[in-house]
Amino acid sequence: MRASSPSHAGRKTHLKDLYAKGLSAYATSNYSEAKKLFARIVLANPEHADAWNMYGVCCLVMGQTAAAENFIRQALNIRPDPVFYTNLGIVLRGLRQIDGAIAAYRSGLTLNPQSAKACANLANLLLIRNELSEAETLYRQALALKPENPHTLANLGALLIRRGAYTEAEPLLRKSLALTPSHLKAAQQLATILRRTGRYAEAATLLEQGSQWGLLGAILREEAAWPALAKADAAYIESLNAGQGLSAWPWTLLNIAELSPRLQKKAAFRFAEEEYADALALLPLVNSAPPREGPLRIAYLGADAAMHMLAGVLQAHDPDKVEVHLLSLGKPPKDEGSPAAPPAKWHDLSADTDARAAARIAEIAPHLLIDLKGYTTAARVNILARRPASIIVSWLGYPATLGHERLADYIIGDPVLTPVEDAENFSETLALMPHCYQPNDRSRPRDPPPSRSAAGLPETGLVFCAFNQFIQLNPGTFAIWCRVLSTIPDSVLWLLHDNDEGVANLRHEAQKHGIAKERLVFASRTPPARHLARLRLADIALDTFPHNAQTAASDALWAGVPLVTRKGDSFASRTAASLLTAHGVADLITTTDEAYLELILSLARAPEKLRAMRERLETARLNSPLFDAPRFTRNLERLYEEIWQRRDTPVHERKPLALAP
């Protein structure tokens, strides 16, 4: 006799038991068993929405993301549920489908506005897009619902830091660390506040505890706290080679002499992959070159400081050859007649989200987008990652490769700075100017210098200067400077007052080398015209290594002050050599510590030799290519045209491009 079928109630109880077992297996991380149990349920009852959802969740944690999306959508087809929408958002976030993830979270919040998880997850995506206002509202809503969530606390703290609200952000980050002492993001963000508010020692302790060696090295350099620097640098290089730990902001790594150009490229690539993963996963906003009728459409993307450096070029651009657009990440200049506001079309992107800024650039349809920021302060690399132009060129702001070929197609250098044999150290194709990569012009002020006493200098004795940020200083080069001071009686070293802690530490370091602290003179920051005037009081400028001076180098040469540099094997360690070569004084370039010291002393000990060098610099100032903005601009326009002519060349077939003089 045939057995009777189970009753409906019995079947329902059986599925309920299976579901409970599935949840239990999932809770104990037995995901494979849980997945099998949920699969049995949906096979027996295809309308079991909760089982479909958990089936998808199991697939997600097992790395089967595409299957997870399919199963969670099946659950939503049966029953719209806020939890299902949140899980779908997580899946789509993993698939880098940011628009879809945002839509899923919004749908879930429509059904249940009290979901702290959905609020926080949606805020995370909006923060990535630079949509700060709504993200902040959502983070606060999430914390009102779940006040003890360390991740939400850390993320809101990071957002407030971007707004400059350090006082409000700090207690949130401290609470996050109190809840989860190992929370690396909270520690990193709190360290950012501490360093920006001058509490360097506390920031360093916090980062060392979290083994965040790259950022720790940057902070130690910013305050010239060198005893622990070698350990931090070595640990970072070890972690980089091993592929472990958090990546550091690439700009700070340029100061590590032991970090080869190959490792700089690796570090930049790793940072881009981690920091800009979502934008890099998007389809390019622009896939093909725009049509061209007439002049090249050139768009410069940067902040006011970068635009100011371009003043001579912008004024000298030939409107028959280029149509210039200025894409400002800061505010437009108030004086429309100033050098910073040449005849050009100005676009203020400062208040735009990254997505909106990229869309606006795409609407302009530049033939070439020239990025002037790279990984420097307040950069907006997510804009580049979205590819708002078919050709992106990295230039001027960041002295190294961006590391990721999606962020820029070309990098502008010159034969000294980026010789073609170094092409493998760049993710970009090299595009070489004939003389120098850096734009300068002869319209800069040249006011009479103040008195030495007014500048805080002694009335007699040689004045050596190095107006670089403290982060560019290092123990080895500083030891050479102290040897110079020890050898040249009554001389002083004139430095930029970067921060109080650094000043105290540098004076202490000088005393360790037998140099009285009074022989270090620190100058406060001042407007460019006043700085150039006081700079003329210096006798010899001393360059830093391995991160050379850039604008500080051209400032010294414009003021007629000899700059002695040490040239290395990286972009950042060749910037001064590039300027000196273009200026016709390559004999001020050295390649070893010993030669660097010897050249400084040979100038300091021989007044006639020093006087002759200053006379050469005075002549060169009005005759060399370095300060010839019209000549530089004609060559730059030639380079732009050459880049444009290669627009259809596949990436793997591009060769370095070098203009003849």
For residue 334, pLDDT beyond 80: no
Domains of the chain: 282-441+636-658 (3.40.50.11380), 463-627 (3.40.50.2000)
For the segment 250-273, the average pLDDT, to the nearest whole number, is 92
Tell me the C-alpha distance between 284 and 274, whole Å.
18
Instruction: Determine which of 77-86, 222-231, 431-440 has the lowest per-residue pLDDT on average.
Output: 222-231
For residue 210, pLDDT beyond 60: yes
- Residue % of the chain over a pLDDT of 90: 77
Q: Strand, helix or coil at 302?
A: strand
For residue 1, pLDDT beyond 50: no
| Cα–Cα nearest to 555, from 645, 624, 465 | 465
pLDDT confidence bin for 249, thresholds 50/70/90: confident
For residue 602, pLDDT beyond 60: yes
Identity of the amino acid at 93? R
Q: Who wins on pLDDT, 361 or 222?
A: 361
For residue 305, the model assigns a pLDDT of 65
For residue 247, pLDDT beyond 50: yes
For residue 13, the model assigns a pLDDT of 76
Count how many Cα atoms sit within 13 Å of the Cα of residue 283 in the half-sphere of its side chain. 5
Instruction: Determine which of 7-21, 130-144, 329-343 has the lowest per-residue pLDDT on average.
Output: 329-343
Given a contact cutoff of 8 angstroms between Cβ atoms, the answer to whether 578 and 269 are in contact is no
Q: List the structure tokens of 657.
A: 């491009």
Q: List the structure tokens of 76.
A: 């939503």
Q: Strand, helix or coil at 456?
A: coil
For the segment 445-470, the average pLDDT, to the nearest whole number, is 96
Mean pLDDT of the residues in the chain: 92
For residue 10, the model assigns a pLDDT of 62
Given a contact cutoff of 8 angstroms between Cβ atoms, the answer to whether 625 and 631 are in contact is yes
- Residue % of the chain over a pLDDT of 70: 95
For residue 7, the model assigns a pLDDT of 56
**Does 562 sit behind a cis peptide bond, omega within 30 degrees of 0 on the bond before it?**
no
Q: Which residues contact 77 (CB under 8 A, 6 or more apart)?
A: none
Q: Strand, helix or coil at 366?
A: coil
For residue 412, pLDDT beyond 70: yes
Given a contact cutoff of 8 angstroms between Cβ atoms, the answer to whether 42 and 61 are in contact is no
Identity of the amino acid at 246? L
For residue 385, pLDDT beyond 90: yes
For residue 161, pLDDT beyond 90: yes
| Cα–Cα nearest to 659, from 413, 455, 451 | 413
For residue 395, pLDDT beyond 90: yes
Tell me the C-alpha distance between 329 and 353, whole Å.
11
**Rg for the chain (alpha carbons), in Å?**
29
Dump pLDDT digits (tens) for 604-653: 999 999 999 999 999 999 999 999 999 999 999 999 999 999 999 998 89
For residue 343, the model assigns a pLDDT of 66
Q: Which residues pair with 542 in a beta bridge?
A: 564
| Cα–Cα nearest to 537, from 591, 633, 646, 463 | 463
For residue 340, the model assigns a pLDDT of 43
Q: Strand, helix or coil at 108?
A: helix
Given a contact cutoff of 8 angstroms between Cβ atoms, the answer to whether 423 and 452 are in contact is no
Identity of the amino acid at 512? K
For residue 331, the model assigns a pLDDT of 60
Given a contact cutoff of 8 angstroms between Cβ atoms, the answer to whether 564 and 539 are in contact is no
For the segment 453-469, the average pLDDT, to the nearest whole number, is 97
> What is the DSSP code string of 559-575?
TT--EEEE--SSSTTTH
Given a contact cutoff of 8 angstroms between Cβ atoms, the answer to whether 550 and 438 are in contact is yes
Virtual torsion, Cα 314, 318, 319, 324, nearest 10 deg = -30
For the segment 466-472, the average pLDDT, to the nearest whole number, is 95
